Amino acid sequence: MADVLDQAEVDALLAAADTSDVQEEERAALIFSRGRRDLENVEIRQYDFKRPERVSKDQMRALQTLHETFARNFGAALSGFLRTIVEVKIATCEQMTYGEFISGLPNPTSFNLIEADGFDGQMCLEISPLIIYPIIDRLLGGTTQDLFIPQRPMTPIETRLIGNVTKRGLDALAEAWQGVRALNFSVSATESNPQLVQIVPPNEVVVVIGLELKMSNRAGTMNLCIPFNVIEPVMEELSAQSWFSNTKNNRLGALKDRIGRRLGAAATSVNAVLAETTITVRDLREMQVGDLIVTEKPATRPVTLCVEGERMFLAHLGQYKGKRALRIIRPYQPGDRV
């Protein structure tokens, strides 16, 4: 049974409460761990069980590596299109809920819904107005020096101009995904207010690739939001090692085939050197039709066959079907005295 207080102890407690001498006992935080004993330097982080991390660290690294290729290709394409240097690099690569992603976007902005032939569902590409209007100004012949960024939705003409930029970005994205799966990306809709677009429930996990664009003295951000349920069928293929090796092998094989086809169709000049000798300039000036040039090389010796001026083969001079012809004996070697 629990201890029962007598009347004297009850009176002492009431007197202490009246004089505020009661001190609340502080309970120390208990951290249960097998290996850690230093409780003062323990770092405690909050964990939300309603939002588990569904993408592993290896898959996140693979996605970041894949989209680093996208950033390089997109920067090169955009630099050629705008006739100025545009730097595109990845700033962040993280997973969050769709509601958190939408709440962090400005309004208005360029919010594009993207569809892929091989995926079920939609992705979204958001481009900040801080870089959109400098690009538009550059396309229209401006210098982007004293440019004012308006806080309004884009006009149809501005949307059409930015569509050319978005198209080049989707081409670079398809090229980056080529190592995992052949995809064709297209813009299905464009919106200025991201709060009006809901491609997945607010608590659905999405992967957000944050990119930074720099052009001259202007800079802005671009965010690619990929819902997890869209890329879930290919998550097993996104291991960093297999993706890198497959991409490298495929690119090397395709590059060799392309170079081989181009070289196979190239035209080359072939000529044969019968003999070589030296004469004086006076003899050359007095040369007439019918004169003979005597060399020290016998007629039975092989001639040198040159391709684009380089000695390649030794051959015998002859005749084939009434025309002069050369029969190749063997490849030319540096030690041959011809």
- Angle ∠(183,98,163) on CA atoms, nearest 5: 45
Residue 257 burial (C-beta neighbours within 10 Å; 0-12, 13-18, 19+): exposed
CATH superfamily of 270-331: SpoA-like (2.30.330.10)
| Listed range (67-81, 191-205, 236-250, 271-285) with the worst mean pLDDT | 236-250
Domain with CATH 2.30.330.10 in the chain: 270-331
**Pairing relation of β-strands 270-273 and 218-227?**
unpaired
Mean pLDDT for all residues in the chain: 81
DSSP state of 130: H
Residue with tokens 């083969």: 313
pLDDT for the residue 240: 46
- CATH code: domain 57-259 is 3.40.1550.10
pLDDT for the residue 180: 81
pLDDT for the residue 20: 57
pLDDT for the residue 210: 92
Q: To the nearest 10°, report the CA torsion of 139, 140, 142, 148.
A: -90
Structure tokens at 51: 């939002």
Domain with CATH 3.40.1550.10 in the chain: 57-259
Phi-psi category of residue 288: left, alpha or beta, with phi > 0 → left and psi -120 to 50 → alpha: beta
- Beta-bridge mates of residue 191: 111
The answer to whether residue 242 scores a pLDDT higher than 70 is no
Query: Using an 8 Å Cβ cutoff, are 160 and 65 in contact?
Result: no
pLDDT digits (tens, 9 = 90+) for 152-195: 888 899 889 999 899 999 999 988 888 788 888 888 888 888 88
Query: Using an 8 Å Cβ cutoff, are 51 and 205 in contact?
Result: yes
pTM here? Answer: 0.57
pLDDT for the residue 334: 80
Longest dimension (CA), the chain: 149
Residue 230 burial (C-beta neighbours within 10 Å; 0-12, 13-18, 19+): buried
CA atoms within 13 A on the CB side of 220: 20
DSSP 3-state assignment of 163?
A: helix
The mean pLDDT value for 219-229 works out to: 90
Query: Using an 8 Å Cβ cutoff, are 82 and 90 in contact?
Result: no
Per-residue pLDDT band at 33 (split at 50, 70, 90)? low
Per-residue pLDDT band at 212 (split at 50, 70, 90)? very high
CA 74 – CA 170 distance, rounded (Å): 9
The answer to whether residue 1 scores a pLDDT higher than 50 is no
